[in-house]
Structure 1
Amino acid sequence: MVHPVPDHTQLIESSVQKLMAWLSCTRPYWLVEMY
């Protein structure tokens, strides 16, 4: 599924990266449980 909206995709990707970084900083064991 390719969406013709690269701006929204980049915003979502950046927000997801920030979320993952925040989770990894606050809850390192949370990522370990997932992987």
Structure 2
Amino acid sequence: MPLAYFLSAADTQAFIACTRVAPALSMVSRAQVAGTPP
């Protein structure tokens, strides 16, 4: 397997993971902000 192909595949997996994790983190941070007393 060429190294460039492996790196591009890993980069794609990381990008997919980020696009899945980012909305969840934003929802959690919003819930924490909404749940904290003023």
Which of the pair has more CA radius of gyration? 2
Equivalent pairs, count: 26
What are the ranges of 5 or more consecutive residues in structure 2 without an aligned counterpart? 30-38
Q: CA RMSD in A?
A: 1.5
| Residue of structure 1 aligned with 2:23, choices 12, 22, 25 | 25
Query: Which structure features the higher share of helix residues?
Result: 2
Can you give the 5+ residue segments of structure 1 that lack an aligned partner in the other structure? 30-35
Q: Which runs of 4+ in 1 moved over 2 A?
A: none
1:7 to 5, 8, 12: 5
TM (norm. structure 2) is 0.56
Query: TM-score scaled to structure 1, two decimals?
Result: 0.59
